Amino acid sequence: MKNPPIACLIIALLMLGNSTLFSADELPQLTPVQAAVELDKPIAMSGVVADVGISPKGTVFLNFGAPFPNQIIAAVIMPTDTAFFDDLGPDLKALKGAKVKITGIVQMYEGKPRIIINMRNNLEVLEPAPPAAISG
């Protein structure tokens, strides 16, 4: 077969991850409240990280709007992807209080909206956390 079937091409694009399918400059720029209702759509969201949780298995949760379990929306970094964020320092909890931009697709999980961020370009620190926010 000279040309792969179109279904194979579509699957290959989906496997590349959501970060390669859009540019942050082309996306709607939303607050966490606005982003939480934009299900299954690629968006760019800017907001202050209310808290950072790390599960026993190493999944990182950047919660916006309020600390867990009352977050408006969460950005999630799976354990297999945390190495992409090593340049942010050894402890991603230092992002608590930082203003960040997240790009990705909003999905519902256990009744709460979330964005999986699986590439470094899905997370941009716009303003670092004030020292009091990190220690508190």
SS3 string, 19-64, reads: HHCCCHHHCCEECHHHHCCCECCEEEEEEEEEEEEECCCCCEEEEE
Dihedral angle computed from the Cα positions of residues 77, 79, 85 and 90, in that order, rounded to the nearest 10 degrees? 120
Give which of 126, 73, 136 is closest to 104, Cα–Cα. 73
6-135: CATH topology: OB fold (Dihydrolipoamide Acetyltransferase, E2P) (2.40.50)
Say which residue the tokens 């950072």 belong to: 52
For the chain, give every domain's residue range: 6-135
Provide the terminal-to-terminal Cα distance of the chain, rounded to the nearest Å.
61
Nearest to 109 by CA among 14, 46, 36: 36
Alpha-carbon 38 to chain mean position:
14
**Main-chain phi, psi angles of 113, to 5 degrees:** -75, 145
Structure tokens at 66: 């309020």
Are 106 and 36 contacting, i.e. CB atoms less than 8 angstroms apart? yes
pLDDT in tens, the chain (136 residues): 455 555 544 444 444 444 445 666 789 899 999 999 999 999 999 999 999 999 999 999 999 999 999 999 999 999 999 999 999 988 899 999 999 999 999 999 999 999 999 999 999 999 999 987 655 5
pTM: 0.81
